[in-house]
Structure 1
Amino acid sequence: MFRVIGLYLFSLLFFLAGVGHFIMDGFFVEAMPEWVPFRLFIVYASGIVEIALAILLIYKPTRSRAGIWTTLFLLLIFPVNVYMAFFPAQYDIPVYALWLRLPLQFVLIWWVLKVTKP
């Protein structure tokens, strides 16, 4: 029961994060270093990926693979969180919150693997 609730909660949060890429696209563009090309495209593409993964996590036949892909995605975006932690002056976010996001990423990885394992 808790596993199912955790799955749906994670999927909802991931879906909302994906939608956030379209609502707060400027914030996500600024989260990346300036030397990264096509930043707006990357923001929108990653939003689409997050929404798609959230949906695939709900669908039982794709759940296990979606859990693995979500883990890989979370690892792929981890450098952006590191960048934000090292350059906090650019953001209207408390420095401690930027540093707390780093271990939180691994909590999210554990969470998605826990709720999607066969």
Structure 2
Amino acid sequence: MIETVAVLLLLAISMAMATLGAVLLVRFIIPGAGRRARILSAAVLGPGLVMLPTPLFTLDGPNEWLPFLLGFMAVLIGVCAVIGWPISHIATRKLDRLTHFDVGTFE
């Protein structure tokens, strides 16, 4: 039981860190996009990159792709809603505040 909790906690922390990295990556790649687009992109990109190697270890035959992809997308949407969105929303807001400088500071 404790091993399962430890693995799930490590996975959640990995997804949170990947989402924070995705916030910065999205900010540099598409700087002209709106805040909502950047939040959604980071919320999907962070957990999506952590979950990307999953098909390499789970699929056995060629007929398993469609059910696996449907389940994978359902889990990815759930994880993005629970872990990715709040983290990307808060981090994007903080990053926007830090990158918009006030001219009055330098006068």
Taking structure 1 as the reference length, what is the TM-score of the superposition?
0.28
Taking structure 2 as the reference length, what is the TM-score of the superposition?
0.30
